[in-house]
Amino acid sequence: MGTRLGELVERLGGQLVGDPNLEVIGIAPLTDAGVSHISFLSNSKLRAQTAHSHAAALIVSPADDDFVAAGYGGARIVTPNPYVYFARAAQYFAALTAIVPAPGIHASACVDASAQIDASAHIGPQATIEAGAIIAAGAVIGAGCFIGREALIGEGTQLFANVTFHAYCQIGARGIIHSGAVIGTDGFGFANEGGVYIKIPQTGRVLIGDDVDIGANTTIDRGALADTIIEDGVKLDNQIQIGHNCHIGAHTAMAGCVGVAGSAKIGKYCTFGGAAMVLGHLTIADRVHIGSGSMVSRSIAEAGQYTGFYPLAKNAEWEKSAAIVRNLSSMREKIRALEKTIKTLTNQDEK
Amino acid sequence: MGTRLGELVERLGGQLVGDPNLEVIGIAPLTDAGVSHISFLSNSKLRAQTAHSHAAALIVSPADDDFVAAGYGGARIVTPNPYVYFARAAQYFAALTAIVPAPGIHASACVDASAQIDASAHIGPQATIEAGAIIAAGAVIGAGCFIGREALIGEGTQLFANVTFHAYCQIGARGIIHSGAVIGTDGFGFANEGGVYIKIPQTGRVLIGDDVDIGANTTIDRGALADTIIEDGVKLDNQIQIGHNCHIGAHTAMAGCVGVAGSAKIGKYCTFGGAAMVLGHLTIADRVHIGSGSMVSRSIAEAGQYTGFYPLAKNAEWEKSAAIVRNLSSMREKIRALEKTIKTLTNQDEK
Amino acid sequence: MGTRLGELVERLGGQLVGDPNLEVIGIAPLTDAGVSHISFLSNSKLRAQTAHSHAAALIVSPADDDFVAAGYGGARIVTPNPYVYFARAAQYFAALTAIVPAPGIHASACVDASAQIDASAHIGPQATIEAGAIIAAGAVIGAGCFIGREALIGEGTQLFANVTFHAYCQIGARGIIHSGAVIGTDGFGFANEGGVYIKIPQTGRVLIGDDVDIGANTTIDRGALADTIIEDGVKLDNQIQIGHNCHIGAHTAMAGCVGVAGSAKIGKYCTFGGAAMVLGHLTIADRVHIGSGSMVSRSIAEAGQYTGFYPLAKNAEWEKSAAIVRNLSSMREKIRALEKTIKTLTNQDEK
């Protein structure tokens, strides 16, 4: 199952240079694409490769088009952002062969009589849906999912198998929650009395906007008294931990294994590299970019790129540098002593 | 549904200054509380805010009471530790509206005939309970949970949805295990023969005391030959990994994403900041506090606060400092050369 | 239930010094072993302990045998690698008492009519198996597992309870996947258009070789266009994240909480300490060993041991050293200034 180039361009835009009736069946990387594929050039540095590509058509930027046209004989789709066009074309091809879960409730699912399941929604095998939960039109609840009391799953949102979505929490439209994610678990809140921890009930919710993706085995704590907020368009990778009462601004993206402690307020359009960590109660401005493996221990008021991890070295070298790091203050003392001595010497010389 | 201030104080103690017949319906932060809420002042620095609070009553310490009384017109509950009182009051209000899972076994659960389920326990939909498992009085097994052969879930302990609790492991009374947690998975034990790993069967158990909370998607390995031990009152946040044969002392708390490698022995009353890591076979004394993102690579014999993470900086500055860290030994050489030269100069001068 | 020493040696090899008819019931550490246990000496430094061991028999290396024989009166099994022998003997004893899941499909499992389930496979309670999936001979699918469309579970491979194994992915023979693991979740792939993320469909698979172990709550992303590859004999501990299109070479082992970003290519026979992180698109040679908590930010072409984490210190000392690390470039400036001054002084002296 494929499509004509002309139809693709009609749907996704771009300027087609070539035969609109050419049939293509899918999308592939530049070097792997066969004669029935389209491919794309998103990085100008690789444009020399296009001359050897077997692809039926290439998605290229206006800036690369002349170069590509000179060496490559297939069709071209010219568009300002080839990578975005690739994403949309890939979505288009994926939709052609997608197996959409059928509307309806699987016989093995346990759905409370008071839950409201839209007729167009899909509830998979072995799922559990508690009293008062609302599953909107076109939503997909995978096998083995748990949806708590009065939770809300928005229109067209898909939960893959084995997601846990706790009571009273909400997610908007067109979201994706991957397997093993846990939304709305209790935050880590305790009062300490003579060394013993007294649990503080976590009575807030998790409120998630539209177009939010949440990765596999990611956990998002419900608020303690107020709510945990995830704004529209946020993208969270796998195994991320978001503490209670955090607020993540719209269109912020976090790579795998990131941790955000409670009550952190993170701006819009931020990015976090894998395994970055944010301490609690911090405020991070919009458009802040945190490098992988970096610990954010203070609020950041200024947009920009921030990093902080110990550089890797051969083990013997690391042992040497780490030993010096441990004693940096003595090194500083030595330098100060040297400065003093030299000052004395210089003064003597000047006499 | 609410309560009278007088009833609250009767149950939780504290000295009430104000009308015992005043009705309150819940608890809220100082700045959000409405006229039907009580609130609390746990941080003296914020006491100026109390004058503007709409709360019906405030929980305050004796030290702050005079100041608060001067500016705030509502009722006061005076108690030595307002934050602990807040926790208890919040528990009280939460209990008023809590929906307690009904005793009994859901029709969709698969419970082996030889399992012993107390009549007051709740077994949720789609749960599986294997042969010989014991579920004590008042325990709650959430939807989709798996309880392995001869495992023991203590009195009043609650497992949220989709917990996996493996064979022969035990947890005591009043515990909480959050969704996605896996207790008693095999430890990572292999012998290496010419590069190929040979699995060592993990035949120990996980033994968990009373009043232990375990966070969402946290994993605790069963012991290799002996058992993994989690003592009373331990609180583990989400996405923590505890290796085989670890021993965690009573009332120790770990924030999210902490990892503890196998056979580590950790004392009582310790705290671990988020994403702290502990290498295997180490011993950590009581009352040791490890900062977030810190790697514990040696045993710690002395109570205290320990930290070790690379400070965050603007990316360009980090690149500069990281390059120097990589070459710290050459910097040390330069200083030594300087010291030598200066010594020569000084000696010459002294001649 | 136990075995005779003679039978053990017949099956596992080694040279028995002692009575082949002696009955032993299990294996235990040197200091805990009772008179019906066998034990082992894998670390020569501990050989003095053998004189006090109550074990019926000891597994020892030829190098330690004379020393052990002098002080220890029980039987000995002499073999070049006592730890490997211990692993095999422990497997042997574990098999004697193992409760093997019975072949067949539990009545509560939801298995699509087009799935191919070998008659000798076990499908546990509440499992879901989608259309076209293949479960090979002797495979065990635990309670609550989800197996996606056309996925393949190889011969004798065991999935513990609550594993999610997505559509089209494959695992070979004799593998183990622990509870809560998610195989084949979407990779984190987006194109960015004016700040908004456009999802790139993840249409590759995860292909896993033979004899691979995958830990609890570990996640492995499916490829974007091509596949994610895990070669034979790889051992992954708990809570590991493997990004899309990664390639992990045979017999590489990773400890808990490791993260590998997308498209990383990791060699054979590597080891990764707990919480080590690897950035995307890197290439790591064979036999590279990465220390715990280390961030791999560049490709590594040479086998060896690499490390990089900030050393732990008392909090006050860390604060001091971290402040200096932040200002290392000013320290370098000071040293350069000193060098210059001294050069001037030396030149003056030489005049």
**Chain C residues touching residue A331 (CB < 8 angstroms):** 324, 331
pTM exceeding 0.95: yes
pLDDT of residue C250: 98
The radius of gyration of chain C's CA atoms, rounded to the nearest angstrom, is 27
Tens of pLDDT, residues A140-152: 999 999 999 999 9
The encoded tokens of residue A41 equal: 């050039």
Tens of pLDDT, residues A254-276: 999 999 999 999 999 999 999 99
**Could you tell me which of C304, C279, B300 has the C-alpha nearest to residue A318?**
C304
Residues B206 and B222: their CA atoms lie apart, in Å, by 5
What residues contact A210, with CB distance under 8 A and at least 6 apart? A154, A172, A173, A174, A175, A232, A233
Mean predicted lDDT score pLDDT of chain C? 96
User: Which residue in C has a C-alpha nearest to residue B181's C-alpha?
Assistant: C180
C92 touches chain B (CB under 8 A): no
C-alpha A158 chain-centroid distance: 16
Tens of pLDDT, residues C125-183: 999 999 999 999 999 999 999 999 999 999 999 999 999 999 999 999 999 999 999 99
What residues contact C168, with CB distance under 8 A and at least 6 apart? C148, C149, C150, C151, C184, C205, C222
Res C77 pLDDT > 90: yes
pLDDT of residue C349: 62
The encoded tokens of residue B213 equal: 């909370």
The values of phi and psi at residue A83, to 5°, are -70, -40
What is the residue-wise DSSP string for B146-199?
A: EE-TT-EE-TT-EE-TT-EE-TT-EE-TT-EE-TT-EEEEPP--EEEETTEEEE
Strand partners, C37: C26
Chain C: give the shortest CA distance to residue A83, in Å: 6
- Residue from B217, B248, B320, B333 whose CB has the most chain A CBs within 10 Å, to mutate: B217
Find tokens 């980090």 and name the residue: B318
Res A351 pLDDT > 70: no
**Chain B residues touching residue C332 (CB < 8 angstroms):** 324, 331
pLDDT of residue A53: 93
Strand partners, B183: B165, B220
Chain C: give the shortest CA distance to residue B180, in Å: 7
Chain B: give the shortest CA distance to residue A235, in Å: 19
**Rounded mean pLDDT, A126-144:** 98
Q: In which band, very low, low, confident or very high, does the pLDDT at C350 lie, cut at 50, 70 and 90?
A: low
Residue ranges of A 271-330 with Cβ closer than 8 A to chain C: 273-275, 292-293, 309-315, 318-319, 322-323, 325-329
> What ranges in chain C are assigned the alpha helix state H?
5-12, 62-71, 82-97, 315-326, 328-350
Instruction: Report which residue type is found at B97.
Output: T
- Residue from A106, A150, A160, A219 whose CB has the most chain B CBs within 10 Å, to mutate: A219
Residues C246 and C296: their CA atoms lie apart, in Å, by 15
Tens of pLDDT, residues C266-301: 999 999 999 999 999 999 999 999 999 999 999 999
One pLDDT digit (tens) per residue for chain B, 351 residues? 689 999 999 999 999 999 999 999 999 989 889 999 999 999 999 999 999 999 999 999 999 999 999 999 999 999 999 999 999 999 999 999 899 999 999 999 999 999 999 999 999 999 999 999 999 999 999 999 999 999 999 999 999 999 999 999 999 999 999 999 999 999 999 999 999 999 999 999 999 999 999 999 999 999 999 999 999 999 999 999 999 999 999 999 999 999 999 999 999 999 999 999 999 999 999 999 999 999 999 999 999 999 999 999 999 999 999 999 999 999 999 999 988 888 888 777 655
User: Which residue in A has a C-alpha nearest to residue C332's C-alpha?
Assistant: A335
Active site residues of A: 244
pLDDT of residue B349: 62
pLDDT of residue A348: 72
B46 touches chain C (CB under 8 A): no
Residues B327 and B333: their CA atoms lie apart, in Å, by 10
User: Which residue in A has a C-alpha nearest to residue C349's C-alpha?
Assistant: A349
What residues contact A189, with CB distance under 8 A and at least 6 apart? A199, A200, A202, A224, A244, A262
